[in-house]
């Protein structure tokens, strides 16, 4: 579709009057959920509506499965995951108050091994550091360290994607640094995901920065993630996503899906992240669904994602479909009980989602939205990224937790686009994502609320 100016319309008006009214079809829908899109009004009406703006454009640039990301997903190794979990269990205990001077036992040995393993799998591309802090809990004191492995992005305005898991664990007594505590599922499984994801993703080059974060002192109250998140906030780190994997090993016979917890699903940055994760995961691993819950975490429980939520950053928790309370903080939580086929699928989800977000163009800013004279018609304006082949636009009904079918705009036509035939009585949360020519989709812009009683307001 070409942009048509007022002068062009005056020249074409005699010819337009001789032609039957026609309508312009909206762009293609998400491939697995084809849904008809309403058509625009006749051209005679759009003339009075738009003054030459692009109306309901057609685009073949849509989110698709990128073969390069598929190869990364297929590279996830069960053998690597088994070896990681076995090694972490071999330290006997990783309690925050366990010994730190041994090379074979306790949290000190575990953190040094994780540090060295990040350096090994990163093959010189990961910048690995310690993030030190002090823990004082129930009369006990011990120095602690998060392990931070950073894969720098190449874009000058790169956002940051954090993949995290806590590496500490405990026995029945929260400060018992002596009793054996294998902690295979809780949470050697999450650390194994970190290491395997780092191994695969550090082989590539990404627009956005990826941080693989192994945090300490989760069992005493998410102290390690609090320390990191607060410092990230104070340093204005542009965190676009914080994904917390905690207890993702699975067991034989449990349902084959992954639970995702996001607070304020319908109106928060974490809810937007949850929708992105659910959508992209469905493209790449459709046989292993993600079930989204509108909650910070399970009732009465916590995870490291809460510290990022507390400072206003988008963060979600990922956990296996069913937990076994008998294994929690017990000597029964061993590597032999994990279903490594299940864990492999969780890692594949993570690799697909992170690669899609990190490899896509930069997240667009919020669009500026104006009401138009026709009910259910809105004009969206935003600065166009020259690296974007197109854009996906979401008009999400406010009571919907997942994305509706998108509307699509080619990059050359983007920036000043009118969309029509929306329900004038419906409230919508509007956002957009940039697409590259391979179908990778960026993180979505923050949503803008429109509809009855709204005036293109912000959430």
Distance linking the first and last C-alpha atoms of the chain: 33
Residue 17 has pLDDT above 70, yes or no: no
SS3 content of the chain, % helix, strand, coil (to 5): 30, 20, 50
Instruction: Indicate if 146 and 279 belong to the same structural domain.
Output: yes
Q: Locate tokens 């902690």: which residue? A: 183
CA distances from residue 362 to 67, 276, 369, 383, 434 in whole angstroms, order as listed: 21, 15, 20, 12, 7
The number of residues in the chain equals 459
What is the structure's pLDDT at 156? 85
pLDDT of residue 195: 98
- Average pLDDT (311-331) is 96
Same domain? For 205 and 260 the reply is: yes
What does each C-alpha distance from 197 to 288, 344, 369 come to in angstroms?
A: 18, 11, 39
Could you tell me if 141 and 168 lie in one domain?
A: yes
Mean pLDDT of the residues in the chain: 89
* CATH number where 163 lies: 3.40.630.10
Position 147 in a domain: yes
- Provide the 8-state DSSP code for 457: B
pLDDT band at 53 (very low <50, low <70, confident <90, very high): confident
Q: What is the mean pLDDT of residues 414-421?
A: 95
Asked whether residue 189 falls in the same domain as residue 261, the answer is yes
pLDDT at 1 exceeding the cut of 90: no
Nearest-angstrom CA–CA distance, 433 and 454: 23
Q: Look at residue 456 and tell me if it is in a domain.
A: no
pLDDT (tens digit, 9 = 90+) per residue, 250-285?
A: 999 999 999 999 999 999 999 999 999 999 999 999
Same domain for 211 and 279, yes or no, is yes
CA–CA dist 457, 449 (Å, integer): 5
- Taking the C-alpha atoms of residue 80 and residue 82, their distance in angstroms, rounded to an integer, is 5
Name residues whose C-beta falls within 8 Å of residue 36's C-beta, 6 or more positions apart in sequence.
none
Q: What would the pLDDT profile of 328-386 be if each residue is shown by its tens digit? A: 999 999 999 999 999 999 999 999 999 999 999 999 999 999 988 899 999 999 999 99
Rounded Cα distance between 365 and 87, Å, is: 44
pLDDT for 9 equals 36
Question: Which pair of tokens denotes residue 49?
Answer: 């509506």
Nearest of 84, 90, 165 to residue 120 by alpha carbon: 84
**Structural domain that includes position 407:** 6-58+362-450
Name the domain boundary from 340, 359, 378: 359
The pLDDT of residue 5: 41
**Of 359, 374, 402, which residue is a domain's last?**
359
Examine the domain organization and report whether 98 and 32 are in the same domain.
no
Say what the pLDDT of residue 44 is. Answer: 34
Number of domains in the chain: 2
Beta carbons of 434 and 383 less than 8 angstroms apart: no
pLDDT band at 454 (very low <50, low <70, confident <90, very high): low
Q: What span, in angstroms and rounded, lies between the C-alpha atoms of 422 and 37?
A: 10
19: pLDDT confidence band, cut at 50, 70 and 90?
A: very low
CA–CA separation, 169 and 186 (whole Å): 7
Domain membership flag for residue 432:
yes
Residue with tokens 């016979």: 253
Q: Do 126 and 159 share a domain, yes or no?
A: yes
Residues 83 and 148 in one domain: yes
Q: Hey, which bits of 255-310 come out as E strands?
A: 258-262, 290-294
Has residue 459 been placed in a domain? Answer: no
Q: Is pLDDT at 20 greater than 80 in this prediction?
A: no
The two beta strands, 127-137 and 140-151, are antiparallel
Question: Do 435 and 327 reside in the same domain of the chain?
Answer: no
Of 359, 389, 417, the one marking the end of a domain is 359
How far, in Å, CA of 132 to CA of 96, rounded?
Answer: 13
191 exposure class (CB count in 10 Å sphere: 0-12, 13-18, 19+): buried
Same-domain status, 209 and 83: yes
The pair of structure tokens assigned to 269 is 């940055």
Query: Does 134 map to a domain?
Result: yes
Give the rounded percent of residues in the chain with a pLDDT score beyond 70: 87
CATH label of the domain that carries residue 52: 2.60.40.10
In a domain, 458, yes or no: no
Distance CA 383, CA 93 (A): 52
Same domain for 213 and 252, yes or no, is: yes
pLDDT of residue 332: 97
Flag whether 248 is in a domain.
yes
Any domain includes 265: yes
Categorize the per-residue pLDDT at 36 as very low, low, confident or very high, splitting at 50, 70 and 90.
very low
Residues 6+ apart with CB under 8 A from 336: none
Q: Which of 8-22, 108-122, 233-247, 424-438 has the lowest mean pLDDT?
A: 8-22
Task: Specify the pTM.
Answer: 0.88
User: What's the CA gap between 203 and 89, in Å, rounded?
Assistant: 27
Claim to verify: residue 138 and residue 277 sit in the same structural domain: yes
């Amino acid at each position: 579709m070409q942009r048509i100016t007022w002068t062009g319309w005056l020249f074409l008006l005699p010819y337009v009057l001789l032609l039957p009214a026609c309508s312009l079809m909206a762009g293609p829908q998400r491939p697995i959920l084809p849904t008809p899109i309403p058509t625009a009004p006749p051209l005679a009406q759009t003339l009075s509506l738009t003054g030459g703006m692009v109306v309901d454009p057609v685009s073949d640039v849509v989110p698709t499965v990128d073969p390069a990301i598929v190869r990364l997903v297929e590279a996830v190794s069960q053998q690597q995951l088994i070896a990681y979990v076995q090694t972490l269990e071999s330290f006997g205990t990783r309690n925050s108050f366990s010994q730190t001077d041994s090379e074979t036992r306790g949290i000190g040995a575990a953190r040094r091994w994780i540090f060295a393993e990040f350096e090994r799998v990163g093959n010189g591309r990961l910048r690995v550091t310690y993030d030190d802090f002090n823990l004082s809990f129930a009369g006990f004191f011990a120095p602690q360290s998060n392990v931070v492995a950073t894969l720098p992005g190449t874009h000058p305005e790169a956002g940051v994607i954090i993949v995290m898991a806590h590496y500490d664990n405990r026995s029945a007594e929260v400060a018992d640094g002596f009793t054996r505590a294998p902690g295979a599922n809780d949470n050697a499984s999450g650390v194994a995901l970190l290491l395997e994801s780092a191994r695969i993703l550090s082989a590539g080059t990404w627009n956005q920065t990826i941080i693989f974060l192994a945090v300490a002192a989760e069992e005493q109250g998410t102290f390690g993630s609090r320390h990191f998140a607060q410092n990230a906030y104070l340093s204005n780190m542009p965190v676009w996503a914080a994904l917390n994997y905690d207890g993702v090993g699975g067991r034989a016979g449990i349902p084959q899906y992954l639970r995702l917890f996001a607070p304020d699903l319908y109106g928060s940055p974490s809810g937007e992240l949850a929708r992105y994760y659910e959508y992209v995961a469905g493209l790449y691993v459709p046989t292993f669904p993600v079930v989204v819950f509108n909650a910070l975490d399970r009732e009465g429980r916590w995870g490291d994602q809460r510290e990022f939520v507390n400072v206003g950053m988008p963060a979600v928790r990922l956990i296996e479909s069913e937990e076994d309370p008998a294994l929690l903080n017990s000597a029964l939580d061993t590597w032999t009980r994990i279903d490594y086929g299940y864990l492999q699928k969780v890692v594949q989800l993570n690799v697909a989602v992170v690669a899609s977000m990190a490899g896509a163009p930069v997240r667009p800013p919020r669009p500026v939205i104006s009401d138009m004279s026709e009910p259910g018609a809105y004009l969206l304006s935003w600065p166009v990224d020259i690296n974007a082949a197109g854009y996906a636009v979401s008009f999400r009904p406010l009571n919907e937790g997942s994305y509706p079918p998108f509307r699509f705009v080619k990059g050359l036509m983007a920036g000043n686009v009118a969309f029509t035939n929306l329900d004038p009585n419906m409230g919508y949360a509007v956002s957009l994502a940039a697409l590259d020519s391979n179908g990778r989709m960026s993180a979505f812009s923050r949503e803008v609320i429109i509809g009855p009683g709204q005036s293109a307001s912000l959430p």
